[in-house]
A and B are shown apart, each in its own frame.
Chain A
């Protein structure tokens, strides 16, 4: 999409771009609770939704907002909430519910510094592991990342498409810099944007099984109120959606919830490579930090150092194959991130000790300056 320059140009901050992306994706339900630095997503939709018949509601707390979007999604609405660190923590139980009950929805987390109340107005990337493992229990999850306003727009659309396709919650991670940076967004013609909608049951209500076993592991949930009377629960359940204590069925269910994402990883995972073909130093960076990394790569090339960048657009499932391929080509990998090495450990694992992995972590609320990355590369070289 970003190569299409025929569209309209607008200046937007990342948060507003998310809201605009949601509108285009067909999202018509938002429930949220005010929290810095994500609030502009809610504010923007509170203006837009009533004008087009979409539903906006400010809930009494973060937990309620997460519950409300699951309820709305079950009526067939594409549903969104937006939050930040502390709110993301509060939402975790119901995110797990959406995983278990396989209810599509999108959660945007504009990351700020933690732990606890931390740094409300300052950027961080400290929730990347929480996004993967924040809720209890084994489950698959899809987590996307955006590094610019343009990507915030595009990744929000993709988040809805993946949620609807795989019947799962999808988390989109921005950081405060991306959320609050105003820059150009090229909005393509709507006819050129791919929109995915969840499957509808082909069978009659009497033959319908909401969680029927299928080859692609994806269930088909009919919107409430359409004559398909079924049960949805967070308890382990069988194909009918009713709770079960049958260990065999429970084991199969949890396996399927994980397999549903793993088996489709190639369709889900997306990375962007910059000057990686002949690189001797590989950088793995995401979100706002990938912009610092890109600057650093260009600077290094000017100095004759062959640096390259691997930018995951999808953080989970983790792009293991892509990281391993990079590890086999370069002499060292550098992972700059606004935390103390949360993704660096994944890079280490995926690179199978093929090369040294150097962490460049910042947790003081400052962005990572491209010059810091250049200095580290010089040190490694």
Chain B
């Protein structure tokens, strides 16, 4: 039984992180029958600024809905990495976009650096699926929710006609995560 696993997805407005958070939460709650809570925090900007989405997954009841001590932080921008990494717990996981995050925060956590945006633009061919590439990476590295559940949740959320593109994005991310781990 898992108590509380806390994930924070951070970047700038418009990168689709809130959607990614919803997908993760749905994967855990609907397809794995666990409890999951997704919250968000955003500024006045629809695009840009620092934005974050949080997902708390647990096999028990989730009272406090926000993250307290992060198990995993994903940062797609330098600003969000600086702003949101303070809550990472000892031994936690930090996944960063190597093309966009240059200064690493100091702390006792494992850092996984991957060219997330580049994978989306170069390997998948569309920057818009950066969030789904990130989900693939995160799924593999965190190992908390199954690949199958996340894929089902993605398919239930993305617009019709984009399923193939999104599956490709997820697979590319998952593969990149796998390469990094092995």
Chain B binds chain A: yes
Residue of B nearest to A289 (CB): B64
Are B44's CB and A182's CB within 8 A? no
Interface size class, chain A: 20 to 34
Q: Does B14 contact A (CB under 8 A)?
A: no
Residue of B nearest to A291 (CB): B63
A165 to B44 alpha-carbon distance, docked (Å): 40
Are B44's CB and A183's CB within 8 A? no
Q: Does B35 contact A (CB under 8 A)?
A: yes
Are B63's CB and A183's CB within 8 A? no
Chain A 173-190 against B: per-residue CB contact (8 Å), 1 yes, 0 no? 000010011111000000
Residues of B within 8 A of A120 (CB): 44
From B38, B62, B68, give the contact of A369 (CB < 8 A).
Answer: B68
Residues of B within 8 A of A367 (CB): 64, 66
Within 8 A of B (CB), among A238-293: 288, 291-292
Residues of A within 8 A of B43 (CB): 121
Q: Does A193 contact B (CB under 8 A)?
A: no
Main secondary structure of the interface of B (DSSP, over half): mixed
Are A181's CB and B37's CB within 8 A? yes
Chain A 283-325 against B: per-residue CB contact (8 Å), 1 yes, 0 no? 0000010011011001000000000000000000000000000
Residue of A nearest to B55 (CB): A182
A184 to B29 alpha-carbon distance, docked (Å): 7
Are A180's CB and B39's CB within 8 A? yes
Are A182's CB and B38's CB within 8 A? yes
From B29, B39, B41, give the contact of A121 (CB < 8 A).
Answer: B41
Residue of B nearest to A10 (CB): B30
Q: Does A11 contact B (CB under 8 A)?
A: yes
Q: Does A235 contact B (CB under 8 A)?
A: no
Q: A9-B29, A9-B30, A11-B26 are in contact. Are A295 and B63 (CB under 8 A)?
A: yes
Q: Does B8 contact A (CB under 8 A)?
A: no
Are B37's CB and A292's CB within 8 A? no
Q: Does A378 contact B (CB under 8 A)?
A: no
A367 to B43 alpha-carbon distance, docked (Å): 16
Are B44's CB and A298's CB within 8 A? no
From A177, A184, A292, give the contact of B39 (CB < 8 A).
Answer: A177
Interface size class, chain B: 20 to 34
A298 to B43 alpha-carbon distance, docked (Å): 33
Are B65's CB and A288's CB within 8 A? yes
Q: Does A104 contact B (CB under 8 A)?
A: no
Residues of B within 8 A of A180 (CB): 39-40
A42 to B44 alpha-carbon distance, docked (Å): 19
Q: Does B22 contact A (CB under 8 A)?
A: yes
A298 to B3 alpha-carbon distance, docked (Å): 13
Residues of B within 8 A of A182 (CB): 21-22, 25, 37-39
Are B68's CB and A370's CB within 8 A? yes
Q: Does A229 contact B (CB under 8 A)?
A: no
A11 to B22 alpha-carbon distance, docked (Å): 9
Chain B 35-69 against A: per-residue CB contact (8 Å), 1 yes, 0 no? 11111111110000000000000000011111010
Chain A 1-20 against B: per-residue CB contact (8 Å), 1 yes, 0 no? 00000000111000000000
Q: A121-B42, A121-B44, A295-B63 are in contact. Are A184 and B68 (CB under 8 A)?
A: no
Q: Does A371 contact B (CB under 8 A)?
A: yes
Residues of A within 8 A of B21 (CB): 182
Chain A 114-131 against B: per-residue CB contact (8 Å), 1 yes, 0 no? 000000110000000000
8 shortest interchain CB distances as A-B pairs: A182-B38, A295-B63, A294-B63, A183-B37, A291-B63, A295-B64, A11-B26, A181-B39
Question: 24 interchain pairs (CB within 8 A)?
Answer: A10-B30, A11-B22, A11-B26, A11-B30, A120-B44, A121-B41, A121-B42, A121-B43, A177-B39, A177-B65, A180-B39, A182-B21, A182-B37, A182-B38, A182-B39, A183-B25, A183-B38, A183-B62, A183-B65, A184-B29, A294-B63, A294-B64, A298-B63, A370-B64
Question: A residues touching B (Cβ–Cβ < 8 Å)?
Answer: 9-11, 120-121, 177, 180-184, 288, 291-292, 294-295, 298, 367, 369-371
